[in-house]
């Protein structure tokens, strides 16, 4: 196994998930009010991370929301990705991070994200073995998915502002509906 410093970093951005079985890969992300769920199967030697913006539900996605923004979608993708790589549901373990209240005057979506992740994992029967959620500052997260080690750094000052900006990126504009009218 390579040392931490020699590991290859793969960044997981908002709306993404990654699943790996290479012990030399470190998954990383930056979180403000967003939440990242890190899951692994210690026997199969496979793990992964997701990064979601909103807790969401199947109804949110069905009503035309961008599915990649919602926890329900990304949690399911992560679990299915792990199972496809040989993980077994009964051996999965999870750690959750993020969910900060980065701007006091806004609703606490970070707390809602963390509560969603906890409830989702409980409903799916996936054991939570670690958690660092809430607070007022963003986090930089590193996760070694094969061994299950996680390390975080509190973000303050300029770093925190970057995390807030990443968390609050506007959603892409919806594509216009096709029309049978042709303009010249």
Per-residue pLDDT reduced to its tens digit, 41-100: 999 999 999 999 888 654 544 455 556 677 898 999 999 999 999 999 999 999 999 999
| Per-residue model confidence (pLDDT) at position 3 | 43
Instruction: With a cut of 90, say whether residue 127 has pLDDT above it.
Output: yes
- The mean of the pLDDT values for the chain is 82
In sequence order, the β-bridge partners of residue 19 are 48
Question: Are 117 and 1 within 8 A, CB to CB?
Answer: no
Question: Are 109 and 39 within 8 A, CB to CB?
Answer: no
Q: Taking the domains of the chain in order of start, what are their residue ranges?
A: 4-167
Instruction: With a cut of 70, say whether residue 1 has pLDDT above it.
Output: no
| Per-residue model confidence (pLDDT) at position 109 | 87
Instruction: With a cut of 70, say whether residue 13 has pLDDT above it.
Output: yes
Angle (CA) 12 110 61, round 5°: 70
Q: How confident is the model at residue 156 (pLDDT cuts 50, 70, 90)?
A: confident
Residue 32: name the closest of 163, 129, 161, 184 by CA: 163
Q: How confident is the model at residue 7 (pLDDT cuts 50, 70, 90)?
A: confident
| Per-residue model confidence (pLDDT) at position 69 | 72
Q: Which residue has the higher pLDDT, 182 or 11?
A: 11
**CATH architecture assignment, domain 4-167:** 2-Layer Sandwich (3.30)
The residues annotated as belonging to the active site are: 34
Round to whole Å and give the CA distance between 38 and 98. 11
| Per-residue model confidence (pLDDT) at position 103 | 72
Burial class (CB in 10 A: 0-12, 13-18, 19+), 128: middle
């Amino acid at each position: 196994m390579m040392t931490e410093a020699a590991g290859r970093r793969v960044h997981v951005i908002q709306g993404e998930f990654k699943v790996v079985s290479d012990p030399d890969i470190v998954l990383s992300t930056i979180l403000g009010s967003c939440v990242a769920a890190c899951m692994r199967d210690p026997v199969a030697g496979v793990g992964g991370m997701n990064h979601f913006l909103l807790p969401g539900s199947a109804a949110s996605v069905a009503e035309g929301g961008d599915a990649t923004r919602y926890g329900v979608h990304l949690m399911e993708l992560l679990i299915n990705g792990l199972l496809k790589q040989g993980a077994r549901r009964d051996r999965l373990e999870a750690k959750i991070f993020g969910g900060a209240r980065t701007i006091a005057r806004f609703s606490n979506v970070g707390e809602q994200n963390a509560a969603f992740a906890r409830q989702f994992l409980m409903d799916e029967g996936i054991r939570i073995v670690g958690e660092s959620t809430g607070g007022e500052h963003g986090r930089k997260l590193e996760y070694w998915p094969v061994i299950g080690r996680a390390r975080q750094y509190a973000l303050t000052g300029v770093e925190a502002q970057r995390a807030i900006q990443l968390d609050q990126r506007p959603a892409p504009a919806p594509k216009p509906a096709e029309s049978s009218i042709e303009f010249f």
